[in-house]
Structure 1
């Protein structure tokens, strides 16, 4: 390769990296409102009358402050477990999180009304038999309150029958912390595998839905690969659904991951949107490497690749975006679930060329 060509390529990549960095800084500067901190998790009495509430079990590799109990971006040497009860205000609008303006007030904002530290992962047992669960793995640039309240919003808006479990890894919660977050997600692979193994071995646990968003999708895929390589096929077989929403995964890396993981039953569902602006930036930060979450699902070559590897690509770009990044559409998917659950598995809502299964609140490809 000639020096001129190398210089040209270097300039092109440098320009792309600079554009990505500029885009990151624009997002950072545009976020004028302060990010929610530990004060949003102050326990307050439940208001009367109040809206709905949801109990969320947390399994976290985040460190914790000894005095306050606040979750930090430090990497814990052993997992922390806790159960939160979160009240949703009566005026709640679907897909939104009503953040406290000052102190949490259950009549006007999301608010924590109870916290129960746990010595180990412990689900609340269902009264009528085995309890279904959904493990949610959040993405890059998330504070602990943001990931906790987002799962509460999804669970309440979708009226999910599954008990929500938040796997909270130590994201730095800053837009310029991409590399640090990738390392923190990698640090948490063993612990996510342990959580899934515990749930799979629990006779009181029914269906297990595993849902990873953004960089959390990379963590999910890496964990499944690790389980497969370590011979823990039984854990993977216990998973009822695996969904990656806007996964921030290099396309070639995912091809390697899925070759080891192999086809799942039902197939892994990947929610994609070619207009995802956050993944466009992460692709630039990664040296112009395309991300799985921005895949164009209508491309025949892509469809052939998905069929070969036993995955379902679902284009959700037609669903209204929650914010300007077009990266958090999963938060509004639950609005499409029918309020009437008569027949459950028979009741489905049309979403473009795909359907939304109200039982697991995940998208599956329309049978042809």
Structure 2
């Protein structure tokens, strides 16, 4: 009898991550969380999300944790954010009785086909705000990815048309290998979404933000677009990767194909990211991009040469035990932090930067590139 699963879990690194992540999300949303509530309360903020996903089985109300791989499909959800929402937090319902006064609730949910999605995207594309695609990372179920983007959109203050690309993550701490395969499965569908959003008739800035393993997925999609000669599509997007779980050597090869972006690709890193530390040990000690040390002169030189902005956000308080979701607090800081002119000027260039709450600060990853460009 094979004991491979037990042997894997016995590895100290993965066991540590299991304990940390389990304590951070001991109570995960049930499968009924996305059932439309149908009403909200005065003072609540409504966030309307467009969703593209290749998870299957969501058409019904048991869509909260589906990880089965399917065809690309689309829907629109309206999420109510409670009046006393705390930036950086998702107020989950603590009981089976959902209360929009206290927690996030879905008030409307509408499936659509590709044509409907394109039309809805075009109809919401007027104005001077931003359209942003969010690609979640490892260990996200569908409900979590929907509510996370709703929270990011509510806190950023700059994302007017939020679009979720939800790939079929297992939504399980021990599903790391399965999630890698699922991200690979999702590459073509993400390319399709990027081509759709890139072709939309809009004056809004188009942002592409990815977290963790989603960063690898985004880089692969950009690489695929470049190899297809779809340079025009790539040029439409400003790209930011938060805590990307990518082997440094693999990232270098991806950049060789993707090439320089305008504005430069932004990468948010922190050296104390425990989840990426585990990923590094599971990968035989190979460094992950999201945990690089920007004090290394060689890294600074490499970032400038590759025309990449590497931004250390280690000073931002991490709300999760694994210190892997620090970007969430980074977004929340936008509501209370003033972006200094010298910081904005510096961030127009490639290189390595440190986020310093005492002075040299930057905005959220959704707004990072647009803030830098707005000063030109």
Cα gap change, 1:17/1:249 in structure 2, threshold over 3 Å: closer, same or farther?
A: farther
**1:306 and 2:303 matched:** yes
- The separation in 2 between residues aligned to 1:51 and 1:171, in whole angstroms, is 30
Residue 337 (structure 1) shift: 1.7
Match for residue 9 of structure 1?
none
* Equivalent of residue 276 in structure 1, options 273, 281, 299: 273
Instruction: Structure 2 unaligned segments of length 5 or more: list them.
Output: 1-6, 348-353
RMSD: 3.1
- The separation in 2 between residues aligned to 1:278 and 1:359, in whole angstroms, is 20
Match for residue 228 of structure 1?
226
Q: More displaced, 22-31 or 83-92?
A: 22-31
Q: Give deviations 1:101-127, integer Å, cap 9, x for gaps.
A: 123211110000000111123326248
* Equivalent of residue 99 in structure 2, options 96, 105, 108: 105
Cα gap change, 1:38/1:88 in structure 2, threshold over 3 Å: closer, same or farther?
A: same
**1:160 and 2:166 matched:** no
* Equivalent of residue 61 in structure 1, options 54, 75, 93: 54
Residue 141 (structure 1) shift: 0.4
- Identify the structure with the greater strand proportion: 1
- The separation in 1 between residues aligned to 2:285 and 2:325, in whole angstroms, is 22
Q: Is the Cα–Cα contact under 8 Å of residues 283 and 291 in structure 1 kept in the other structure?
A: yes
**1:70 and 2:85 matched:** no
SS of match in other structure, 2:18: helix
Match for residue 368 of structure 2?
362
Q: Give deviations 1:262-309, integer Å, cap 9, x for gaps.
A: 111100000000000010011112222110000011210111111111
Residue 53 (structure 1) shift: 1.3
SS of match in other structure, 2:214: helix
Match for residue 3 of structure 1?
none
Cα gap change, 1:273/1:24 in structure 2, threshold over 3 Å: closer, same or farther?
A: same
**1:83 and 2:76 matched:** yes
Residue 334 (structure 1) shift: 2.3
Q: Could you tell me the TM-score, scaled by structure 1's length? A: 0.87
Q: Give deviations 1:64-93, integer Å, cap 9, x for gaps.
A: 1564362610111x2121111000111211
Match for residue 243 of structure 1?
240
Match for residue 140 of structure 1?
138
Match for residue 44 of structure 1?
37
* Equivalent of residue 108 in structure 2, options 93, 102, 114: 114
1:179-194 matched pairs, under 5 angstroms: 179-194=177-192
Q: Is the Cα–Cα contact under 8 Å of residues 270 and 314 in structure 2 kept in the other structure?
A: yes
Cα gap change, 1:89/1:124 in structure 2, threshold over 3 Å: closer, same or farther?
A: farther
Q: Give deviations 1:316-366, integer Å, cap 9, x for gaps.
A: 000111211111111112232256999x9x999994175424794237899
Instruction: Structure 1 unaligned segments of length 5 or more: list them.
Output: 1-13
Match for residue 7 of structure 1?
none
Q: Is the Cα–Cα contact under 8 Å of residues 68 and 168 in structure 2 kept in the other structure?
A: yes
- The separation in 2 between residues aligned to 1:243 and 1:337, in whole angstroms, is 16
Q: Give deviations 1:1-23, integer Å, cap 9, x for gaps.
A: xxxxxxxxxxxxx9998221321
Q: Is the Cα–Cα contact under 8 Å of residues 136 and 210 in structure 1 kept in the other structure?
A: yes
Cα gap change, 1:194/1:354 in structure 2, threshold over 3 Å: closer, same or farther?
A: farther
